[in-house]
């Protein structure tokens, strides 16, 4: 059976790394390239983090492309230290001083367009960060979305609960205009793992400890980069910051990747039009679900609602049994 072709667009922090490892471990997936975007950290750090993951998993043949360093409209984004200043818990051990030489010269957006044009209707795109590169690809090639097979996104929300603002999820808040453009103009089949979906299906800290204590290079990297990270602290996650969903371990971007790898991981979707709000100090960046067809939009997306946690746990476990011979 032919492998599913994939482009990963990422702002590589710790959960992105986990999602990338999940795709690397999936026997039915061929990664054509990884495109980098600002978000969890500056885009140069993102590039280095991706290279570090590929090196540990012995998959350095996969090309990595540098993309957007700022949002579509520009302006200053709020600093983010959710995964440390470098996105990897500020654990510098293992960084490659020659990393710039290993990044492709082609811009990420140009590469994205080229790879999809070369494999029309065969490539799926998984977006794990702000959607700036995707919006730019659309503006350069208005036919780009219809040449895709499917789009999977980790971002947005479905209940108006935010994690960086009152109503906004991080990836969409970092570039609301790009999120708006993508969800208005990408008419390919689109699947969204929202912040609330991920949080509702969090895993136990006991499972997390088993996961990172596997005796493999990938697991050792995850143990290292989570060791000083607030987001992977059991004690911190049990405080009032987790008032909505209760304590537990969440690898946000992995939920979108798992849905791409195995559709059966998602057991229920809400299928409806959506729109990203661009106005206001409270709701800017919020994704609204239109379940009454008030917007009169023809395009409907699949918003993930329920998850098979046994299948998801298995994909996470397999992702850290690397390097693998695919």
User: Which residues are catalytically annotated?
Assistant: 11
The label of the residue with tokens 């239109």 reads 290
Q: What is the distance between the alpha carbons of residues 223 and 88, in angstroms, rounded to a whole number?
A: 11
Quote the tokens at residue 97. 């001083």
Which helix (H) or strand (E) segment holds residue 257: the answer is: helix 252-261
**What are the two backbone dihedrals, phi and then psi, of residue 195, each rounded to the nearest 5 degrees?**
-60, -45
Q: What is the distance between the alpha carbons of residues 38 and 108, in angstroms, rounded to a whole number?
A: 12
Q: What is the distance between the alpha carbons of residues 247 and 239, in angstroms, rounded to a whole number?
A: 8
Q: Please count the helices (runs of H) and the strands (runs of E) in the chain.
A: 14, 10
Q: What is the distance between the alpha carbons of residues 206 and 54, in angstroms, rounded to a whole number?
A: 27
What 3-state class would DSSP assign to 192? strand
Beta strands in the chain (DSSP E): 4-10, 29-36, 64-66, 123-127, 150-154, 190-193, 266-272, 274-276, 287-289, 301-307
């Amino acid at each position: 059976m032919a492998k599913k072709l994939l482009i990963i667009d990422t702002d590589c922090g710790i959960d992105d790394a986990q999602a990338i490892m999940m795709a690397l471990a999936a026997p039915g997936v061929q990664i054509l390239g990884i495109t980098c975007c600002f978000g969890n950290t500056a885009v140069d750090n993102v590039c280095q983090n991706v290279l570090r993951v590929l090196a540990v998993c012995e998959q350095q043949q996969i090309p990595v492309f540098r993309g957007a360093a700022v949002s579509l409209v520009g302006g200053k984004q709020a600093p983010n230290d959710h995964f440390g200043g470098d996105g990897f818990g500020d654990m510098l051990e293992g960084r490659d001083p020659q990393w710039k030489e290993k990044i492709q010269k082609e811009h990420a957006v140009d590469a994205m367009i080229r790879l999809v044009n070369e494999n029309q209707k065969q490539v799926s795109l998984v977006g794990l960060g702000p959607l700036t590169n995707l919006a730019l690809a659309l503006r350069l090639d208005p036919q780009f979305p219809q040449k895709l097979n499917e789009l999977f996104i980790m971002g947005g929300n479905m209940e108006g609960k935010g994690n960086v603002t009152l109503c906004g999820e991080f990836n969409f808040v970092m570039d609301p205009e790009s999120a708006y453009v993508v969800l208005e103009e990408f008419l390919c089949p689109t699947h969204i793992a929202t912040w609330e979906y991920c949080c509702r299906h969090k895993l136990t800290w006991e499972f997390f400890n088993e996961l990172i204590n596997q005796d493999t290079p990938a697991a050792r990297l995850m143990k290292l980069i989570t060791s000083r990270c607030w987001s992977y602290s059991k004690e911190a996650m049990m405080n009032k910051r987790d008032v909505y969903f209760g304590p537990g371990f969440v690898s946000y971007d992995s939920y979108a990747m798992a849905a791409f790898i195995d559709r059966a991981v998602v057991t229920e979707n809400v299928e409806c039009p959506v729109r990203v709000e661009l106005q206001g100090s409270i709701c800017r960046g919020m994704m609204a679900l239109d379940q009454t067809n008030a917007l009169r939009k023809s395009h409907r997306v699949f918003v993930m609602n329920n998850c098979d946690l046994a299948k998801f746990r298995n994909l996470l476990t397999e992702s850290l049994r690397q390097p693998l011979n695919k």
